Chains A and B, each alone.
Chain A
């Protein structure tokens, strides 16, 4: 008798907590006292059910190291000039080696000393004499390369988070996956291309001078003066509201980048009723911008975004106050997104899309509907079968099955697990497998009854002998679910989770709950024969 008491208490406690955890999912609005003290987590739907986009991006972290090397080349040039060390040329060779070309080997030791002092992150990679003089190579310490790469991925993650936050997506999930991969999940996205642009655009804003005296003929033939490069340009025709693609020759040196931007917002150009993006710089940026415009009056300043020139206005006078604008034939949407990415900052390195999965909201709804419908029909069939085959005891098993479902959904809510379409399939399978435990028990009870035992003794023996077997067999399915969980991605993980929760709930309802019901019937109600 003692035994029965703790079992019944356990059943009641588990079932009540099951219903409590399930309530937020069933009722959209809850009274305030509920949300204050009791769980308010709903069952979370996976992207395949609610629609949305799953992206895996690879940060090209090597590019960040290369960029660092490029900046360092400029830096070294300045230092050497300041320290009055003569050099022919300093440039970045393959990947991130920096080569300093000296007129003669004599300067080598002095250079090395200097480099050690100012640039401890570089190490000497050897020197050689060549016709022009003496060439010394430097390269980054391995630790430094690692640090820059690490930083690039971290920054990219942060930047993407900022952009998504400003764009406004409910419950985005942005996380680092392995060394250089970032996984982005955006539920409810309607326009995948727009989201991709927003997340993946490098958004590197640069100001460069237009090279004067380069005729279109020259640029076509590739006859360019040193330090000049051809860039694609979108020439906006504001009156017609169209852009055309052309080319323009720019001086390669970047005068300023977008790193000083504090705000970027969409404004409307009153003349053509066209949106444009207005920028504001911080104090340092404003000073730099004032100086560079002052130094280059009457020259054309190109505004380059991710390698494409958007406009190249003439500098009429020194521009103070730290303001600039980007015009082009943007739609309102494009201008808004551009403002977001400029505000959130540039990605430290470009990203590549490794994986993209998009599910439209319509298909998601369909999937839920069909999945649940299939599970429901399956459940009805199983329930009917159990009733037919085991009669009264079948009813008990069906009660256990219903409670199993309650616990399964409650478990999903309680553990914050995600319900996916394969997850729904997992629920259906749980329904099919859940009765297995009761089938095992009942077949045993029938066997014992055939041996001539009393109902009570038969139930006792049936449960005792079947329990070990049930636990044994469920454990193996749990092992399979565990492997799936380790291996799986998104939807498949959801399957493993529902299968696991379903199996554990099943052990509880099929063994403990049904046993309590049998005991109640046999001991309290003293029924004399079993309907099985």
Chain B
């Protein structure tokens, strides 16, 4: 059986301006949603607060729960989750109790009083204090940044044999970020600045493959985060784990294409970069679609059957797999082309041979 004909030759390179437009629009929609909502809704892991998952025996409504907990949980959001027949609700409040009387205990008592004993059972409680939340928030940003940076180093080392150059770049960046972090600079600004510096460095140090990989990863992260902003879903630790996995998965695809580029380059060193990359993308297209397909299949299963706790994780993975596959074909390699076009060289740098 074959899904994609071996002699397929789609003009991906020719469609690059359309792709650029599409990516820009998608990212802008995400940014607009982000601004419209006044930022990303953060889960308790990052924002601090309390999350309580409760299962009722009888059907009830969020309003009934809210009125029962009026004076206890303060401003809280109550949301039904899972199948309607499960009568499961998530109560989310910004309150935390660092004292020893736990909020969940009082809430359970109150629900017992209102709905009858054993009618409501607390299935899960997550309380994160503001200190821990702030810690995790900062760690998350650093994790994403370091993951991107490590990928960039790997790619430029592996494909351009510039281990030393990219190593020095990474060393300087890590050290600089570390110093500024000690100086107490806000982590968000710091990481954003570090990203921009990294991209600029990739440009001037002539690391086009790293640049392509970085931009395509950044593209994926932005779109997944944008999707969360659009869907109004909460950003949690699990979602972050999904994003880092997507980063790993998307670069995996990218590397396979770059590998082909390198191989084809060895065969014919005078090839035009446009043709070279277009051939390579087409040659690996079957594999790209197949692998993304199987991972996608499994993720759909997780999304549909996996239960409430990993629902958001699966959602992030789904979005990420789609954009990861798209960015592999359209972003990473086309950035490499754009780099050479802008640098005014039609031939691939001799250093890429090997």
Q: List 20 A-B contacts (CB under 8 A).
A: A58-B131, A193-B102, A200-B100, A356-B102, A360-B124, A362-B123, A375-B298, A388-B1, A432-B296, A433-B249, A443-B290, A450-B6, A473-B255, A474-B252, A479-B150, A479-B248, A480-B147, A483-B147, A489-B136, A492-B238
CA distance A366 to B306 in the complex (A): 10
Contact indicator per residue, chain A 38-66, by CB within 8 Å of chain B (1) or not (0): 00000000001000000010100000000
List residues 189-235 of chain B with CB under 8 A from any CB of chain A.
none
- Chain B residues within an 8 Å CB radius of A429: 245, 295, 298-299, 317
**Pairs A-B, 10 closest by C-beta atoms:** A480-B248, A370-B307, A432-B295, A378-B298, A432-B298, A378-B301, A477-B248, A487-B143, A374-B305, A363-B123
Q: If the complex has contacts A355-B129, A370-B306, A479-B154, are A381 and B252 also in contact, measured as CB distance less than 8 A?
A: no
Q: Are A353 and B127 in contact (CB under 8 A)?
A: yes
Chain B interface: which of A138-146, A266-274, A420-428?
A: A420-428
Q: A415: CB under 8 A from chain B?
A: no
Q: B69: CB under 8 A from chain A?
A: no
Q: Who on chain B is nearest to A361 by CB?
A: B123
Q: A439: CB under 8 A from chain B?
A: yes
Least CB distance, B218 to chain A, in whole angstroms: 15
Q: B244: CB under 8 A from chain A?
A: yes
Q: B94: CB under 8 A from chain A?
A: no
- Chain A residues within an 8 Å CB radius of B100: 196-197, 200-201, 353
List residues 483-532 of chain A with CB under 8 A from any CB of chain B.
483-484, 486-489, 491-492, 495-496, 499
List residues 294-311 of chain B with CB under 8 A from any CB of chain A.
294-302, 304-307, 309-310
Q: Are B125 and A357 in contact (CB under 8 A)?
A: yes
- Chain B residues within an 8 Å CB radius of A366: 307
Q: A103: CB under 8 A from chain B?
A: no
Q: Are B143 and A440 in contact (CB under 8 A)?
A: no
Prevailing SS type, chain A contact patch:
helix
Q: Are A355 and B244 in contact (CB under 8 A)?
A: no
Q: Are B237 and A476 in contact (CB under 8 A)?
A: no
Contact of A488 among B3, B241, B256 (CB under 8 A): B241
New contact pairs (14) apart from A363-B123, A489-B136, CB-CB < 8 Å:
A201-B100, A353-B129, A354-B98, A354-B128, A375-B302, A428-B298, A428-B299, A429-B299, A431-B298, A436-B294, A447-B6, A473-B255, A477-B252, A479-B147
Contact of B154 among A360, A362, A475 (CB under 8 A): A475
Q: B158: CB under 8 A from chain A?
A: yes
Q: A147: CB under 8 A from chain B?
A: no
Contact indicator per residue, chain B 146-168, by CB within 8 Å of chain A (1) or not (0): 11001100100010000000000
Q: B132: CB under 8 A from chain A?
A: yes
Q: Are B6 and A439 in contact (CB under 8 A)?
A: no
- Chain B residues within an 8 Å CB radius of A391: 1
Q: Are B301 and A381 in contact (CB under 8 A)?
A: yes
Q: A373: CB under 8 A from chain B?
A: yes
- Chain B residues within an 8 Å CB radius of A367: 307, 309-310
Q: If the complex has contacts A193-B105, A381-B301, A499-B245, are A473 and B252 also in contact, measured as CB distance less than 8 A?
A: yes
CA distance A356 to B53 in the complex (A): 14
Contact indicator per residue, chain B 88-105, by CB within 8 Å of chain A (1) or not (0): 000000000111111011
CA distance A379 to B297 in the complex (A): 9
A362, A379, A433, A447: which has the most chain B beta carbons within 10 Å?
A433
List residues 443-458 of chain A with CB under 8 A from any CB of chain B.
443, 446-447, 450
Q: Who on chain A is nearest to B136 by CB?
A: A489
Q: A385: CB under 8 A from chain B?
A: yes
Q: Are A385 and B102 in contact (CB under 8 A)?
A: no
Q: Who on chain B is nearest to A443 by CB?
A: B287
- Chain A residues within an 8 Å CB radius of B121: 360, 362
Least CB distance, A345 to chain B, in whole angstroms: 18
Q: Are B297 and A378 in contact (CB under 8 A)?
A: yes
Least CB distance, A195 to chain B, in whole angstroms: 10
Q: Are A484 and B244 in contact (CB under 8 A)?
A: yes
Q: Are A371 and B290 in contact (CB under 8 A)?
A: no
Q: A239: CB under 8 A from chain B?
A: no
Q: Are B297 and A356 in contact (CB under 8 A)?
A: no
Q: Are B127 and A469 in contact (CB under 8 A)?
A: no
- Chain B residues within an 8 Å CB radius of A375: 298, 301-302
Q: Are B297 and A432 in contact (CB under 8 A)?
A: yes
Q: Are B248 and A481 in contact (CB under 8 A)?
A: yes
CA distance A366 to B296 in the complex (A): 23
Q: B111: CB under 8 A from chain A?
A: no
Q: Are A48 and B294 in contact (CB under 8 A)?
A: no
Q: A127: CB under 8 A from chain B?
A: no
Least CB distance, B161 to chain A, in whole angstroms: 14
Q: Are B127 and A356 in contact (CB under 8 A)?
A: yes
Q: Are B256 and A473 in contact (CB under 8 A)?
A: yes
- Chain B residues within an 8 Å CB radius of A495: 241, 245
Q: Are A422 and B241 in contact (CB under 8 A)?
A: yes
Least CB distance, B289 to chain A, in whole angstroms: 10
